[in-house]
């Protein structure tokens, strides 16, 4: 195995990826996704797909953006590649990287060329949490030629997108921690924009009930959604640090449907998270709970 070890040494200098970078993206066609299209977003996505105009979904966390995209992929029966952007997302995740395998090197395609070749849906989640240099590379890949030039592969490789290739991105409002403004040229790659917000009370009730398989105390569920909406409003104007999502109202409903006292469930789901920012924050929310559910016995 001498040959291999020499090989390994030579390639060490070429900044080969370490095991952390070896992550290879896979796709799947979602099935049985529960989604209530209350905002009529699916018809817009289907039209955009027909014309292959890329879509940007804007909205706070937990308003159903990811679930909408999964439902859409299920409907059109196309594989979905997803990447959730953060400060740790690197260019190599997007375009690919040279990896060392059994002593020889191989270029592992990143999520962009992989999805392009397959004619899959590329889902760029929370795009505005990425570093600017990563976004720059993405911008290049999303231009009208629908191809990507990979110089990283040693030789120059051009990957052309299959005609079915489609891209959907999401961004969180700038009030969310860690978000940055998207550069205008990148925004312009997504000319169709869908705005998703928290639903009206009656619709949120309907959505939550889709996840519960027994009858639930409507009044208690309504109180929890009223509380969630008050907290969402407060978070919007930065009075508090956290905005509860539909995931939280679903969790509340599951707890009370399994017999937990609603006020205790409200504390667990809605109040305790604020201890992260100290007792004063949590106290504000506990007071709200008391005002909605009455004094503690």
Ligand X SMILES: Nc1ncnc2c1ncn2[C@@H]1O[C@H](COP(=O)(O)OP(=O)(O)O)[C@@H](O)[C@H]1O
Interface residues with ligand X (CB under 6 A)?
A: 34-36, 38, 59, 61-67, 207, 210, 245-247, 250
User: Given CA atoms 241, 34, 25, 156 in this order, what sign does their dihedral have?
Assistant: negative
Answer with the entry of Mg ion, ligand X, none that 67 interacts with (C-beta below 5 to 8 A by kind).
ligand X
Question: Considering the complex, what minimum distance in angstroms separates the CB of residue 9 from ligand X?
Answer: 45
Answer with the entry of ligand X, Mg ion, none that 179 interacts with (C-beta below 5 to 8 A by kind).
none
Q: Does 220 bind Mg ion (CB under 5 A)?
A: no
Please report, for residues 37, 190, 205, 243, 250, the alpha-carbon distance to residue 211 in angstroms, rounded to integers and kept in the order given.
Answer: 15, 32, 10, 21, 7
Of the listed pieces 64-72, 88-96, 112-120, 145-153, which binds Mg ion according to CB under 5 A? 64-72
Answer with the entry of Mg ion, ligand X, none that 207 interacts with (C-beta below 5 to 8 A by kind).
ligand X
Answer with the entry of ligand X, Mg ion, none that 117 interacts with (C-beta below 5 to 8 A by kind).
none
Q: Does 98 bind Mg ion (CB under 5 A)?
A: no
Measure the CA–CA gap between 112 and 77, rounded to whole angstroms: 19
Nearer to Mg ion, 66 or 220 (CB): 66
| Encoded tokens for 296 | 């503690």
Of the listed pieces 26-34, 59-67, 73-81, 180-188, which binds Mg ion according to CB under 5 A? 59-67
Q: Does 66 bind Mg ion (CB under 5 A)?
A: yes
Of the listed pieces 65-73, 102-110, 142-150, 232-240, which binds Mg ion according to CB under 5 A? 65-73
Residue nearest to ligand X (CB): 64
Q: Does 128 bind Mg ion (CB under 5 A)?
A: no
Nearer to ligand X, 24 or 197 (CB): 197
Of the listed pieces 57-65, 127-135, 208-216, 230-238, which binds Mg ion according to CB under 5 A? 57-65
Nearer to ligand X, 108 or 208 (CB): 208
Nearer to ligand X, 127 or 159 (CB): 127
Nearer to ligand X, 27 or 172 (CB): 172
Measure the CA–CA gap between 39 and 52, rounded to whole angstroms: 21
Residue nearest to Mg ion (CB): 66
Nearer to Mg ion, 65 or 114 (CB): 65
Nearer to Mg ion, 71 or 263 (CB): 71
SS3 annotation, 150-186: ECCCCCCEEEECCCCCEEEEEECCCCCCCCCCCCHHH
Answer with the entry of ligand X, Mg ion, none that 246 interacts with (C-beta below 5 to 8 A by kind).
ligand X
Nearer to Mg ion, 49 or 123 (CB): 123
Instruction: Count Cβ neighbours within 10 Å for each residue of 276-292 and write b for 16 or more, e otherwise.
Output: eeeeebbeebbebbeee
Give the footprint of Mg ion on this chain (CB under 5 A): 65-66
């Amino acid at each position: 195995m001498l040959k291999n070890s020499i090989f390994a040494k030579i390639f060490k200098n070429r900044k080969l990826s370490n095991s952390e970078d070896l992550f290879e993206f896979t796709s799947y066609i979602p099935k049985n996704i529960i989604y209530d299209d209350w905002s009529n977003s699916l018809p817009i996505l289907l039209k955009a797909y027909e014309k292959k105009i890329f879509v940007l979904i804007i909205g706070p966390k937990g308003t159903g953006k990811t679930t909408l995209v999964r439902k859409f992929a299920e409907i059109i029966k196309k594989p979905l590649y997803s990447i959730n952007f953060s400060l740790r997302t690197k260019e190599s995740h997007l375009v690919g990287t040279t990896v060392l395998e059994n002593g020889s090197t191989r270029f592992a395609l990143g999520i962009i060329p992989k999805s392009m070749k397959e004619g899959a849906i590329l889902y760029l989640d929370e795009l505005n949490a990425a570093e600017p240099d990563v976004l720059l590379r993405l911008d290049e890949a999303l231009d009208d030629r629908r191809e990507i030039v990979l110089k990283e592969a040693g030789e120059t490789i051009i990957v052309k997108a299959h005609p079915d290739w489609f891209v959907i991105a999401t961004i969180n409002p700038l009030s969310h921690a860690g978000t940055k403004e998207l550069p205008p040229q990148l925004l312009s790659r997504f000319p169709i924009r869908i705005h998703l917000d928290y639903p009206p009370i009656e619709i949120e009730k309907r959505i939550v009930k889709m996840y519960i398989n027994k009858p639930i105390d409507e009044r208690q569920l309504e109180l929890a959604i009223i509380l969630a909406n008050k907290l969402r409003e407060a978070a919007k104007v930065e009075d508090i640090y956290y905005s509860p999502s539909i995931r939280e109202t679903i969790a509340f409903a599951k707890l009370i449907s399994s017999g937990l006292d609603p006020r205790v469930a409200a504390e667990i789901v809605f109040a305790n998270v604020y201890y992260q920012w100290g007792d004063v924050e949590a106290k504000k929310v506990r007071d709200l709970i008391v005002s909605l559910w009455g004094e503690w016995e």
